[in-house]
Amino acid sequence: MEFSHAKRIDWQISDAEVDYPTAVATMESRVAAIHAGRADELVWLIEHPPLYTAGTSAKTEDLLTPDRFPVYQTGRGGQYTYHGPGQRVVYVMLDLSRRGADIRRYIRQLEEWLIRTLAHFGVDGGRREGRVGIWVDRGGGREDKIAAIGVRVRHWVTYHGIALNVDPDLSHFDGIVPCGIRGHGVTSLWALGSTPTMAEVDIALRTEFDTVFGAEERQ
């Protein structure tokens, strides 16, 4: 499935699961092409088979069951993250040199994008000081993470991106300390009682992407 975009941002949805090495190779090729002016920016929506990724700050002790799923070292920021079916992974390849060249602002935009998307399904997600990703207050001092953010930038072109828990098997997160954060849990839209299809989530993501990023002036 593919969406067009008036501002020359390609939107692509992979219906089959994409293995992690293939995804990384595809991103790196597209980033190089964007930097060279040979390709448009891209927002790529996929699901992975079950796997763990280790960001540049990952600690060995946070990989609790190393033989459970494949583990991939990755150049994105952050620590250990789980990806798997039922989780919408969005790899975002934008040319920040045409968008203000401000990485902190870009990460705030990714956060805002997720918060606005979750609001479509009645979920109040938010930022937390000192904790990466988007969080949900479960009451009684408990907070659960519902979306992860991990970014890499090469020649001012972004890649990697976000992962939103729609309806993954949450027990799969037990093999890691997600993002190195102890004392908090992980949740999903379905676990919170909201049961959208992946297609409905994709529509919300597209709508709110245009809200957050679409109004920018392009040089």
pLDDT tens digits in sequence order for the chain, 219 residues long = 444 334 589 999 999 999 999 999 999 999 999 999 999 999 999 999 999 999 888 888 999 999 999 999 988 877 889 999 999 999 999 999 999 899 999 999 999 999 999 999 999 999 998 888 999 998 888 899 999 999 999 999 999 999 999 999 999 999 998 766 667 889 999 999 999 999 999 999 999 999 999 754 333
Residue of 46, 146, 179, 212 marked active site: 179
82 has which bridge partners?
Answer: 52
Query: Which residues contact residue 172 at a Cβ distance below 8 angstroms, ignoring those fewer than 6 apart?
Result: 50, 68, 69, 82, 84
Confidence at residue 158, expressed as pLDDT on a 0 to 100 scale: 97
Rounded distance between C-alpha atoms, residue 68 and residue 172, angstroms: 9
Query: What's the confidence (pLDDT) of residue 57?
Result: 85
| Amino acid occupying residue 133 | G
H-only helix segments in the chain: 20-35, 103-119, 198-212
The answer to whether 52 touches 167, Cβ cutoff 8 Å, is no
Model's pTM, two decimal places? 0.91
Residue 166: the pLDDT is 98
Task: Reply yes or no on whether 179 is catalytic.
Answer: yes
The CA–CA distances, whole Å, from 81 to 84, 183, 189, 197 equal 10, 16, 18, 23
**Is the CB of residue 80 less than 8 Å from the CB of residue 180?**
yes
CB 59 within 8 A of CB 13: no
